[in-house]
Structure 1
Amino acid sequence: MRPYQHKVQYYETDQMKVVHHSNYIRWFEEARIDYMEQLGMPYEDMEKNGIISPVISVEAEYLRMVKFGDTVVIEAKIKEYNGIKLTIGYSVVDESTGMVHCRGITRHCFLNEKGRPVSLKRECPQYHEMFLKGLEA
């Protein structure tokens, strides 16, 4: 799996040209969507099949500043998956130095169009198998 690459834009920074902390959460989402596509299950396909996966919690540990013009790679990896809930871990790494600037986790559940919990193992085995494949990687 290749990590997601992002070049820091000016609008993502504050007056000191340091990335505002809220943007890391957006980068996590961008990396997660890219990761799912690499696993072979684009998020939009899940939605077309009536499955949504809202974020139920998010954590970020900011280790170093990222600045305007830097390029980072965001590595996403499935940490936990049980068919009903999913945890993805992230590392935001400076492309040029290899230093980790942020680590984070997002936790998700799976719901149907009516907002009721879904067991992917029972209702969407193809997605269940893909997440298991990602967990083992």
Structure 2
Amino acid sequence: MDEWKPYQHKVQYYETDQMGIVHHSNYIRWSEEARTDYMEQMGMGYDQMEEKGIISPVLSVEAEYLRMVHFGDTVTIETFVKEYNGVKLTVGYEVISSKTQMVCCRGFTRHCFLNREGKPLSLKRACLDFHNMFAKGLENHKNK
């Protein structure tokens, strides 16, 4: 994943409140869209993970809202592996205004890995390809 492209999103009318400002809940949706895109660009998406019997529920979400985004704006969402230990994964996000290049929202999601029965698993043991993908993502982020 040497030529990763950040995820872009154009704000839709239904994502805004009465003042034309993006409702805070949409940043969480955009993070999920960006995370899915990021994994696909890294080489293996959620569909492949689930085919191997691995699920990755969200354990927690955090978002810090810094600037308003309005209807019609386009944002770029930079996604990165913030923490990874084989059992848990933290993905970071920065929502950047394409117009001003300023960060509008910064946040992260924490995940774990489970088998189909809901039991925790280590990706290093369960699927080395996914383990290596996330470990490489973490290393790439640390080297920036």
Shorter-chain TM-score bucket reads over 0.9
State yes or no: 1:16 paired with 2:3. Answer: no
Structure 1: runs of 5 or more not aligned: none
Give the whole-Å Cα distance in 2 for the aligned partners of 1:129 and 1:16.
Answer: 45
Percent identity over paired residues? 72
Among 50, 53, 63, the alignment partner of 1:47 is 50
Structure 2: runs of 5 or more not aligned: none
Deviations, residues 18-50 of structure 1 (Å, cap 9, x unaligned): 000000000000000000001101111101111
Give the whole-Å Cα distance in 2 for the aligned partners of 1:101 and 1:23.
Answer: 13
SS of the residue corresponding to residue 20 of structure 1 reads: coil
State yes or no: 1:111 paired with 2:114. Answer: yes
Aligned-pair CA distance for 1:117:
0.4
Match of 1:127 in 2: 130
SS of the residue corresponding to residue 18 of structure 1 reads: coil
Among 20, 27, 34, the alignment partner of 2:30 is 27
Displaced runs of 4 or more, over 6 A: none
TM-score by length of 2: 0.94
Aligned-pair CA distance for 1:128:
0.3
Aligned-pair CA distance for 1:96:
1.7
Among 65, 69, 78, the alignment partner of 1:66 is 69
Match of 1:2 in 2: 5
Q: Which amino acid aligns with 1:93?
A: I
Give the whole-Å Cα distance in 2 for the aligned partners of 1:135 and 1:38.
Answer: 15
Aligned-pair CA distance for 1:2:
1.2
Measured on the aligned residues, the alpha-carbon RMSD in Å equals 0.5
Among 96, 116, 137, the alignment partner of 2:99 is 96
Question: How many residue pairs end up in the alignment?
Answer: 137
State yes or no: 1:136 paired with 2:135. Answer: no
Aligned-pair CA distance for 1:97:
1.2
TM-score by length of 1: 0.99
